[in-house]
Amino acid sequence: MRFDITKCHGSGNDFPLIDARALSLDDAAWAAVARALADRAGPVGGDGLLLLTAGDDDHAFGMRMFNSDGSESETCLNGLRCTARSGFAALGVESARVRLKTSGAFVVRDPDLAPGVFTVRETAGPASRDVAAWPMTIGRAENIDAPIEGLPSDRAFTAVAMPNPHLVTFVDRIDEAELVRVGTVCESAPDWLPNRANVSFVEVRGRDLFVRTFERGVGLTDSCGSAMGASTYAACLTGRIAFDVPTTVFNKGGRIRAEASADGMVTLSGNATVEWIGSVDVDLAAGAASDLTIAARYPDEIAAWAAVRDAAV
């Protein structure tokens, strides 16, 4: 089956994106497409697959996101900005209510984060502290700045759903090996955490944050939008930064503007960069992609974001 795709990224979190509004594949087929297109050894590669889906009475359009392992995520806030850009172009609008898997979000075209950087502001939430909903069985209803038995770390974690589950800990200096150890335990879906969780180590830098994430279904990634949102809310919740005050969140992929409110709503403003557009064949039975044709590249957008990324690290 041949697909038209847009290769895009939000804060370095990169994806092939498909306009699926007129397509009718089942979940198993989309999972196979995701594994084929996100395969880093294949012709496209990415952290997952984004789908622009049809709207309904309450939403202009929808988004689905499949991780590189074929699992479907509740949301992906870096991917949402890219999907919003595609939806804006398809419908000729600059703001929209978007349907996600288990929730919704509001998106609007924002002033450019930097010259030449297409920027989208997204508001999502409310964040939830109810770990029973994940589920995470730890003998209490929430976990705020406290260790979690079962993790290979005695650090204090804050558990937040955005609505996908996140464990956030604040560190003086990020130890990637330790992050991978903790993330790998969560990725293994232990009995007390059957749906897994994203894990973020966060450095507080004055009023700013630097976030490094082991993403569920992906692994160690340069950027995870919902993790940046969860980390911002967790930092406010634990008194490390203030609610309702803009902050800058950095990661290895770049940076975003962020703000969290006490009611759990989180606003992120960041890039939605298009690198190229093209088409590719996917053999659903074999789970493999081939015959990539690139119709157009966007080097000016790539260069504009590279300047932001290089200044952020």
Which residues are catalytically annotated? 76, 224
Question: Are the beta carbons of 45 and 7 closer than 8 angstroms?
Answer: no
Question: Are the beta carbons of 275 and 301 closer than 8 angstroms?
Answer: yes
Q: Which residues of 201-231 are buried (b: 16+ CB within 10 A; e: fewer)?
A: bbebeeeebbbbbbbbbbbebbbbbbbbbbb
Question: Are the beta carbons of 312 and 48 closer than 8 angstroms?
Answer: no
Count of C-beta atoms within a 10 Å radius of residue 242: 13
Read off the DSSP letter of residue 132: G
Q: Name 297's bridge partners.
A: 276
Non-local CB neighbours of 215 within 8 Å, separated by 6+ positions: 47, 67, 183, 198, 221, 224, 227
Question: Are the beta carbons of 202 and 168 closer than 8 angstroms?
Answer: yes
Q: Residue 75: which H helix or E strand, with range?
A: none
